Amino acid sequence: MAEELDINAPTEELNFDGPSEDLDVFDCPKCGQTIDASADVCRFCGAKIDHAAAQKAAHLLARVDQACSDASYLRNAAVIMLCLPPGILVGLSRNPRFIQHVGFQNTLIGFCIVILLVSSPFPLWTLRWWRKYASLTGGDDDFQNARKVIKAVGTGTAAALLTFGSLLCLVLLFKFAHT
Ligand SMILES: [Zn+2]
């Protein structure tokens, strides 16, 4: 269950790229080339650089980059999580004696619990992302994609939690009603 451990790691580890202050670049407002924010003039078109505006733009660009890399990390973790249930099912189907031994209800309960454990951090992570980055006004395609990824991961894992949470309740009710 190494995958499960990875996914449940503290959210602080989402910031893979570390502090983004060293990314002091921004897009020239005149020609759109990526240039050093501390330069006096654009080295491509020669436009004069407003330092305050340049720092602000550089900061925004770094935040957008961070938002995109956090989103892609979350997406990869979600993809690993998606592989887990089919993986368990394949494993179980190859070991029918395990189900006989443990009992079908207990196997189902265990399966639900694993899915719930693995998917539970995702809605929190996506909310955290949303609070941190959704207000960024980046017109850039990567950022718009990142927003879509976060929405999909958040709603998908919330749906999985609801589905398997209800299934678990049903199985438990059924189990206790019959003992
Ligand atoms: Zn320029």
DSSP for residue 36? E
Q: Between 20 and 124, name the one with better pLDDT.
A: 124
How far is C-alpha 31 from the geometric centre of its chain's CA atoms?
A: 34
Residue 32 CA, ligand 1 centroid: distance in Å: 6
- Taking the centre of ligand 1 as the mean of its atom positions, its distance from the CA of residue 41, in whole angstroms, is 8
Residue 12 CA, ligand 1 centroid: distance in Å: 37
Cα–Cα distance list, 114 to 6, 14, 160, 165 (Å):
14, 22, 12, 11
Confidence (pLDDT) at 37: 87
Q: Please check whether residue 131 lies inside any domain of the structure.
A: yes
Residue 109 CA, ligand 1 centroid: distance in Å: 61
151 located within any domain: yes
CA 68, chain centre distance (Å): 10
pLDDT in tens, 146-158: 999 999 999 999 9
Q: Which helix (H) or strand (E) holds 34?
A: strand 34-36
Structural domain contains residue 29: no
30 C-alpha vs ligand 1 centroid, how far in Å?
5
Beta-carbon contacts of 151 under 8 Å, excluding residues fewer than 6 positions away, are 126
Domain of 171, in residue numbers:
2-17+63-177
Q: Is there a domain that residue 11 lies in? A: yes
157 within a domain of the structure (yes/no): yes
Q: Distance between CA 117 and CA 64 in Å, rounded?
A: 30
Please give, one letter per residue, the 3-state secondary structure of 127-161. Answer: HHHHHHHCCCCCCCHHHHHHHHHHHHHHHHHHHHH
Residues in the chain: 179
Token output for 150: 């976060």
136 Cα to the center of ligand 1, angstroms: 23
Q: Quick count: other Cβ atoms within 10 Å of Cβ 100? A: 10
Domain count, the chain: 1
Kindly state whether residue 125 falls inside one of the protein's structural domains: yes
Q: What is the amino acid identity at position 81? A: M
- Tens digit of each residue's pLDDT (9 = 90 or more) over 83-99: 988 899 899 889 889 88
pLDDT tens-digit map of 24-72: 888 898 998 989 888 899 999 999 999 888 888 888 888 999 999 999 9
Buried b (16+ CB within 10 A) or exposed e, 111-137: bbebbbebbbbbbebbebbeeebeebe
| Cβ pair 87, 53 in contact under 8 A | no
For the cut 80, the answer to whether the pLDDT of residue 2 exceeds it is: no
In a domain, 53, yes or no: no
